[in-house]
C-alpha cells in the first residue's frame, strides 16, 4: 500500500490542543531541562557533600558553606579523602587536596580565566570592570606581565615617592597618639599609590575625588557581588536594581567614567608618549578603538591590586604591630639594608629577608581564600592517578593545610620569623627561593601555582615592602583587636575586620627613605 501524505495530514486537521496536556508537557520539559542542567557529572564516583536528603533546595547547604567553609572543608578532607564535590555559594564544585597541586599546575585544559568568568557578575550593570577581568583578551593579565614585570625597577622610585606622600596624608605628621580605622586607612593608601602607578597623572593620583571613588568602588563591588551570590546567573541582572549596594555601585562607576572623560579625550586627541613601561599606554593601545572600555579596564586593575594587596597589608600590619620585638628587628633590618644601599633598589628589596618572611607568614595564616587555584575544565581531563574531571566542571584546591600544625609548627599562630629561620636552617643543597614571599609551591599557593600563577606578585612584593618600610620607620603604632577578632571568614574568603583600630604617632626615622 502506497503512502499518501495528504491523507496523513488530513487526520490532524481538526486536532485541538488540550490546555491540560500542554501545561503538563511544559512542566515535564522544564523539570527535565533543570535536571539535565544541574545533574552532577561524577564519573569517578566521588563523595558529594551538599543538600541533605530531607532538605528542599540547596539553601541550607549554601548556608553551611558560608558559615564555616574552612571547618567544612577540613571535615570533608578528613572523612572523604583528597577529592570530593562540595556545594559552595552557588554550585557544586570539585574540591581537591594539595596532593593534586603539581598534577594540575600546568594543565591548560583547566582554565583560570573562564572559571572566574563563571563566578563574576558579568552582564550586571555596574559590574563591567569585573567582565574586563575575565575577558578572553586577558588585558589585565597582560598589563602585569608586559608593563609591570618587564620594568619592575623603574617603578621603585614612584612607589617610594607616593608611599611617602600617602602615609603622611593618611597617618599624618601628628607627633601625638591618635586613633585611626586601620583597614580604611590602608585602602586609602593603596588607592593613592596604585593610581600613581596606573595613571601617573597628578590630576588623578593626587585627586582625592578619584582616590576615594576608585577605592570605594572596589570595596563596594565585593559587598554587592556577595549579595547577588544567592541568585542564578540569569537572574542577577533582574535582581540587582533592587539592592541599594548594586545601585550605588552603578552610580560610582558612572562618576568614575565622568572623572576619566578628560583623560580619554586627551588620549584620543593627542595620544601618549611612547613609554612601554606605562600601564596606561599599554591599556590604551589595547582599547584604542573602544575608548569607553578604558574606565572599566583601569578599575579592573584597581580591583586586582587594591582588593588582594590592601587586604593582605591590613593583615600584615596588625600581625607585625602586635609584636614589639619584631618591629624592632624589622627597623634594624631596614636601617642596615636600605641604609647601606643608600635607598630603595632591587638589591635592597631582595635583601629585606625578615620583612619577606613576615609578609609570607601573614599570607600563609590569612590567605585571601580558603579555596584556591580556581579552574574550570574546558575539556575532559584525566589526572595521573586516574581521577576524571569532566568538561565544564568548576574546581578549586583546598588551602586548609596552610594552617595545619603537622606541616607548620603552631600553624594557627603568626610567627614573623618562621620563613627567616627556615631559610637559615636550610640545607645548603636546597634552593632558598622556596622561602621567598613570591615563590609558590604545593605547601603555599596563595599566588597560585604553575603556568597560571599571579603575574603581578613580584610588583606586589615591591609595593608591600616599600610601604611597610615607610609605616614602620615613620610611626609608632599599636592595634586594638575587636572582640570578634582581627579577621573573619565569609564563605571561602578570609577578610580583615573593618572594625580594627590603631593608635599611631609620628616618629623620627633613623634613615631617610
Task: Describe the chain by its helix, strand, coil percentages, rounded to 5.
Answer: 60, 10, 30
Residue 122 binned pLDDT confidence (cut-offs 50, 70, 90): low
Output b/e per residue, 140-175; b: 16+ Cβ within 10 A.
bbebbeebbeeeeeebbeebbebbbbbbebbbeeee
Distance CA 137, CA 299 (A): 16
DSSP per-residue letters across 162-222: HHHHHHHHHH-S-SS-EEEEHHHHHHHHHHHHHHHHHT--HHHHT-HHHHHHHHHHHHHHH
Cα separation values, 223 from 62, 307, 445, Å: 17, 12, 25
pLDDT computed for residue 236 by the predictor: 86
Phi/psi of residue 501, nearest 5 degrees: -120, 150
Cα separation values, 18 from 27, 29, 31, Å: 14, 17, 20
What would the pLDDT profile of 22-74 be if each residue is shown by its tens digit?
677 777 766 655 554 456 888 889 999 988 888 887 888 888 998 899 999 99
Angle at 465 between CA 282 and CA 467, to 5 degrees: 80
Distance CA 212, CA 217 (A): 8
317 compared with 214, residue with greater pLDDT = 317
pTM of the predicted protein model: 0.87
Cα separation values, 79 from 72, 82, 83, 382, 407, Å: 11, 9, 11, 24, 19
Q: CB under 8 Å to 188, separation ≥6 — which residues?
A: 166, 169, 170, 211, 212, 215
* Residue showing cell 588607592: 191
271 compared with 433, residue with greater pLDDT = 433
The yes-or-no verdict on residue 282 having pLDDT over 80 is no
Residue 200: left (phi > 0), alpha (psi -120 to 50), or beta?
left
Dmax of the chain from CA atoms? 107
Q: How far is CA 282 from the centre of its chain?
A: 22
Distance CA 51, CA 64 (A): 10
Phi/psi of residue 367, nearest 5 degrees: -65, 155
Q: What nine digits make up the cell of 229?
A: 551570590
Question: CB–CB of 90/226 below 8 Å?
Answer: no
CATH number of the structural domain 43-506: 1.10.630.10
Task: Please provide the size of the chain in residues.
Answer: 513
Distance CA 216, CA 193 (A): 15
Averaged pLDDT score across all residues of the chain: 85
What would the pLDDT profile of 169-215 be if each residue is shown by its tens digit?
999 999 999 999 999 999 999 988 988 888 888 888 888 898 888 88
Phi/psi of residue 181, nearest 5 degrees: -90, 110
What would the pLDDT profile of 371-422 be if each residue is shown by its tens digit?
999 999 999 999 999 999 999 999 999 999 988 888 888 888 999 999 999 9
Q: What nine digits make up the cell of 151?
A: 620594568
Q: Among 93, 24, 86, which Cα is nearest to 49's? A: 86
Mean pLDDT (whole number) for 310-320: 95
Q: How far is CA 101 from the centre of its chain?
A: 19
What would the pLDDT profile of 175-186 be if each residue is shown by its tens digit?
999 999 999 999
What would the pLDDT profile of 421-466 be if each residue is shown by its tens digit?
998 887 776 666 778 999 988 888 888 888 788 888 899 999 999 9
- Kind of pairing, strands 388-389 and 381-382? antiparallel
In eight-state DSSP terms, residue 481 is P
DSSP tally for the chain: helices H, then strands E: 22, 13
- Kind of pairing, strands 493-496 and 487-490? antiparallel
DSSP per-residue letters across 275-340: -TT-HHHHHHHHHGGGGGGHHHHHHHHHHHHIIIIIHHHHHHHHHHTT-HHHHHHHHHHHHHHHHH
Amino acid at each position: 500500500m502506497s503512502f499518501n501524505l495528504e491523507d496523513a495530514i488530513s487526520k490532524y486537521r481538526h486536532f485541538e490542543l488540550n490546555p491540560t496536556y500542554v501545561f503538563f508537557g511544559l512542566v515535564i520539559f522544564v523539570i527535565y531541562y533543570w535536571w539535565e542542567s544541574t545533574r552532577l557529572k561524577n564519573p569517578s564516583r566521588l563523595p558529594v557533600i551538599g543538600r541533605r536528603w530531607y532538605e528542599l533546595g540547596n539553601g541550607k547547604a549554601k548556608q553551611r558553606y558560608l558559615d564555616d567553609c574552612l571547618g567544612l572543608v577540613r571535615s570533608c578532607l578528613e572523612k572523604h579523602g583528597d577529592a570530593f564535590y562540595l556545594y559552595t555559594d552557588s554550585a557544586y564544585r570539585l574540591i581537591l587536596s594539595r596532593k593534586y597541586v603539581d598534577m594540575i599546575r600546568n594543565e591548560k585544559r583547566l582554565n583560570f580565566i573562564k572559571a572566574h568568568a563563571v563566578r563574576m557578575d558579568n552582564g550586571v550593570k555596574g559590574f563591567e570592570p569585573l567582565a574586563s577581568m575575565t575577558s578572553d583578551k586577558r588585558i589585565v593579565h597582560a598589563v602585569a606581565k608586559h608593563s609591570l614585570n618587564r620594568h619592575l625597577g623603574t617603578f621603585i622610585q614612584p612607589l617610594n615617592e607616593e608611599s611617602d606622600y600617602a602615609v603622611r596624608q593618611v597617618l599624618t605628621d601628628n607627633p601625638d597618639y591618635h586613633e585611626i580605622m586601620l583597614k580604611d586607612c590602608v585602602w586609602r593608601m593603596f588607592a593613592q599609590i596604585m593610581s600613581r602607578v596606573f595613571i601617573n597623572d597628578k590630576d588623578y593620583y593626587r585627586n582625592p575625588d578619584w582616590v576615594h571613588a576608585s577605592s570605594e568602588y572596589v570595596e563596594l563591588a565585593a559587598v554587592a557581588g556577595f549579595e547577588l551570590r544567592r541568585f542564578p546567573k540569569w537572574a542577577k541582572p533582574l535582581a540587582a536594581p533592587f539592592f541599594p549596594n548594586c545601585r550605588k555601585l552603578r552610580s560610582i562607576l558612572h562618576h568614575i567614567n565622568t572623572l576619566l572623560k578628560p583623560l580619554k579625550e586627551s588620549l584620543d586627541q593627542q595620544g601618549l608618549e611612547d613609554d612601554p613601561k606605562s600601564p596606561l599606554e599599554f591599556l590604551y593601545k589595547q582599547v584604542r578603538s573602544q575608548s569607553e572600555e578604558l574606565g572599566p579596564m583601569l578599575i579592573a586593575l584597581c580591583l586586582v591590586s587594591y582588593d588582594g594587596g590592601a587586604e593582605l597589608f591590613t593583615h600584615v600590619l596588625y600581625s607585625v604591630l602586635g609584636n614589639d620585638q619584631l618591629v624592632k628587628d624589622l627597623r634594624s633590618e631596614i636601617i642596615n639594608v636600605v641604609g647601606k644601599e643608600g635607598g630603595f633598589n632591587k638589591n635592597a628589596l631582595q635583601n629585606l629577608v625578615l620583612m619577606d618572611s613576615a609578609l609570607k607568614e601573614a599570607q600563609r595564616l590569612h590567605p585571601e581564600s580558603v579555596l584556591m587555584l580556581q579552574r574550570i575544565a574546558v575539556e575532559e581531563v584525566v589526572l595521573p592517578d586516574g581521577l576524571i574531571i569532566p568538561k565544564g566542571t568548576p574546581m578549586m584546591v583546598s588551602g586548609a593545610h596552610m594552617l595545619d600544625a603537622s606541616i607548620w609548627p603552631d600553624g594557627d599562630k603568626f610567627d614573623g620569623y618562621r620563613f627567616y629561620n627556615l631559610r637559615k636552617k636550610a640545607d645548603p643543597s636546597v634552593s632558598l627561593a622556596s622561602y621567598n614571599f613570591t615563590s609558590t609551591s604545593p605547601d603555599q599557593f596563595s599566588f597560585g601555582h604553575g603556568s597560571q600563577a599571579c603575574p603581578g606578585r613580584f610588583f606586589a612584593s615591591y609595593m608591600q615592602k616599600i610601604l611597610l618600610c615607610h609605616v614602620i620607620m615613620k610611626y609608632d603604632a599599636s592595634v586594638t583587636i575587636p572582640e570578634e577578632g582581627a579577621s573573619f571568614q565569609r564563605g571561602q574568603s578570609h577578610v580583615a575586620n573593618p572594625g580594627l583600630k590603631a593608635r599611631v604617632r609620628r616618629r623620627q626615622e633613623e634613615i631617610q627613605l
